[in-house]
Every structure is written in C-alpha cells, then in structure tokens.
Amino acid sequence: MGTSAITVGELSSSSASGGTVKEVLTGPGINGVVPEGIATADQSQFLAGGSTILTVQVKKVNLRDGTVLGVTLDFTPVGSITLSGGQGTMTANLGHFAVSRDQVRVKNADAVILSGGFFQ
C-alpha cells in the first residue's frame, strides 16, 4: 500500500472543533469496479492549539499499481496516494485548521474518482 505524508501551510476556518470526524468517499465504477474510500480528520488537539491530521484511505480503485492519485480538500491540494493492489493511504498535517463542511476529492489527473459529502 502506498503512503505519503505532507504538511500543508496554515489554513483558516470559521469553526473550532475537536474529536474525529469522517467523510465517506464514493465514486463511479472504473471498468466495472466501484471504488471506496474514507477521509478521517483527527481534530483532537485543535482546541489545545494543535494540528488537525487528515487521513484518506482508498480501496477497490481499478487502476494499475503505481498510479498516483491527487487528494484535495476544498480544491486545495493536500497530498497524493500511490496505488498498490487497488488501494492506498495518505496522511496530511493541516496545521491549526478545523474541517467544517469541507469536501475531500481524490483525482486521477483531472478526473474525480472519489469524493465526499462534506465533513459535518
């Protein structure tokens, strides 16, 4: 399974939060296989001035091994996933940023293959 870690510059948000929130990622089938994914934002350190950690996991992505997928949070690139066996994970440090109604998208070049319904 491919992994990557990236630190993103400080972003702003209008809401403060804590705990962990999830966003289910869905997308259309690729050559007969429907991909799945989940994005998890760990905001447990946010109220104490700490960072939010975003983890995005994908599976059943019917693309060849080594394909690099871009991951965005509200159109801002936050990392990438390199597929191995149709799956992969990435983790990004979002800095002092609380997600609120933000949408994760996973793209292969310009095509969105998975997207979420917004963190809530």
Has residue 10 got a pLDDT over 70?
A: no
Has residue 4 got a pLDDT over 50?
A: no
Number of structural domains in the chain: 1
- Tokens matching residue 70: 């871009």
| Cα dist from 30 to 61, 77, 86, 98, 111, whole Å | 7, 23, 11, 32, 11
Strands 20-26 and 36-42: antiparallel
Q: Report the distance separating Cα 33 and Cα 71, nearest Å.
A: 20
Has residue 108 got a pLDDT over 90?
A: yes
Has residue 80 got a pLDDT over 60?
A: yes
pLDDT tens across 37-71, in order? Answer: 999 999 988 888 889 999 999 999 999 999 999 99
Interval 25-37 mean pLDDT = 96
Predicted confidence band of residue 100 (pLDDT cuts 50, 70, 90): confident
Neighbouring C-beta atoms of residue 5, cutoff 10 Å: 10
pLDDT for 47 equals 80
- Domain encompassing residue 69: 5-116
To the question of pTM greater than 0.85 for the whole model, the response is: no
CATH of the domain at 72: 2.60.40
Strands 88-93 and 104-108: unpaired
Has residue 14 got a pLDDT over 50?
A: no
CB 19 within 8 A of CB 43: yes
